[in-house]
Amino acid sequence: MNRVLGGALLALLVAGCATVSPSPSESQRPSREPLLRLAIADLAVDYPSAWAVHTDMPRLTGFGQPLAILGTLPWGPCDETDVNCHFAQRLGPGQIDVQVVAVSGAGTDLCARATLPIPSTPAGPTRTMLRIHGRPAILLVYPWSGQDYYRADAEKVWSIAIDGTVRRWVVVDARYRRPGDDEFSAELDALIASLAMPKAVPGEQGPGDCGSPFPTPGT
């Protein structure tokens, strides 16, 4: 996945004031690193307290708006809002970098992306249609094994439809480098499971759900 942001992305979800607080699920979690909860632009997500979080994102016009970048990869010698500078930083051993983006389909929807051709790379990806909190979602997994620009061993990209429409979705794009594969996978699974998704606005047009090849709701 190309992480360089151009100047033509539309902020359908305006990145408002971000808040960080203890996760309400912390008391139900095994004794590992404490979780914090990030709330921004009608979206909320849990993340490990050792991760840095950046929410001072540039306002863009077009089809998507970066909301937050989390993880252990240092921000680099970059201005606080210079995400392209940050995206030039390579992962060191045992580091992870996670980008959260709000996307508008601009005439298309998440359902159609299930059958779009995927750019061929030596590392795949594999594509899986699934449901997360009942909403249609697509998971791409790239087993880079250190062969991409970032020296990542793996990259996982979730695209999850917001509540009420499939013409807007949230993307969680995570790259990480060994050691720590199992821990990173567990942390990402917990992050995805903790997502509180935005809702469609009243009168928003477009289909509300996807059929095949996505799983049937409730299965």
pLDDT tens figures, 132-162: 999 999 999 999 999 999 999 999 999 999 9
3-state SS, residue 86: helix
- Tokens encoding 94: 């045992």
Q: Is residue 116 part of a domain?
A: yes
CATH number of the domain within which 171 lies: 3.40.1000
- pLDDT in the model for residue 2: 55
Which residue numbers in the chain have pLDDT < 50?
4-16, 27-31
- Determine, yes or no, domain membership for 172: yes
CB 170, CB 184: distance < 8 Å: no
Q: Is residue 61 part of a domain?
A: yes
Amino acid at 84: N
Residue 8, domain member (yes or no): no
C-alpha to C-alpha distance for 108 and 106, rounded to whole angstroms: 6
Map residue 44 onto helix, strand or coil.
strand
> Quick check: is 217 in a domain?
no
Number of domains forming the structure of the chain:
1
Peptide bond into 125 cis (omega under 30): yes
**Is residue 98 domain-resident?**
yes
Please report whether residue 6 resides in a domain. Answer: no
Residue 154 lies in domain: 20-25+33-194
The CA distance from 41 to 156, in Å, is 23
For residue 113 the two structure tokens come to 């992306």
Contact between 1 and 173 under an 8 Å Cβ cutoff? The reply is: yes
216 in a domain, yes or no?
no
Residue 119: per-residue pLDDT: 79
Q: Give the length of the chain.
A: 219
